[in-house]
């Protein structure tokens, strides 16, 4: 069984959750090539919509995601990956999770701490 890639112009959304803590780390997208490589290697591979190419999570930062469990939703058009996050963070901004901001009334609160400096990691 595999996701229905034809349903969404060749891409499916992927929710990424750290298996041990249950923390939602990020949302990404996969095309069929990313799906196949993820299953073959056991490491998360996504499709970068901004770069227009495969994105092997951690190839620059070292923050790799080892896939422990793969789930498909009832419509077979969304994937949930439960991963072991290797490295300190999933988010390219330096936070553990991409979901580090909370709306509180009409203000945004930062609810996490940065664990690395992106400029040092990505040589910007």
Residue 124: the pLDDT is: 53
Please count the structural domains in the chain: 1
User: Is 0.85 topped by the overall pTM?
Assistant: yes
What tens digit of pLDDT does each residue of 27-85 get? 999 999 999 999 999 999 999 999 999 999 999 889 999 999 999 999 999 999 999 99
Nearest in space to 98 (alpha carbons), one of 118, 109, 112: 112
Residue 122: the pLDDT is: 82
> In this structure, are residues 14 and 26 in contact, taking their beta carbons and an 8 Å threshold?
no
What tens digit of pLDDT does each residue of 53-67 get? 999 999 988 999 999
Residue 8: the pLDDT is: 85
Please state, in angstroms and rounded to a whole number, the distance separating the CA atoms of residues 47 and 23.
Answer: 22
Q: Which residues form the domain of 115? A: 5-121
Say which CATH number the domain at 18 has.
3.10.20.810
């Amino acid at each position: 069984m595999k996701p229905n890639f034809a349903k969404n112009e060749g891409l499916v959304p992927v929710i990424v959750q750290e298996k041990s803590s249950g923390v939602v780390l990020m949302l990404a997208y996969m095309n069929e090539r990313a799906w196949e490589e993820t299953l073959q290697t056991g490491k998360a591979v996504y499709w970068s919509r901004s770069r227009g190419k495969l994105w092997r999570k951690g190839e620059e930062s070292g923050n790799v995601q080892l896939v422990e469990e793969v789930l498909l939703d009832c419509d077979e058009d969304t994937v949930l990956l439960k991963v072991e996050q290797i490295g300190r963070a999933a988010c390219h901004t330096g936070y553990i999770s991409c979901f580090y901001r909370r709306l509180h009334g009409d203000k945004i609160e930062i609810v996490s701490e940065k664990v690395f400096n992106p400029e040092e990691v990505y040589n910007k």
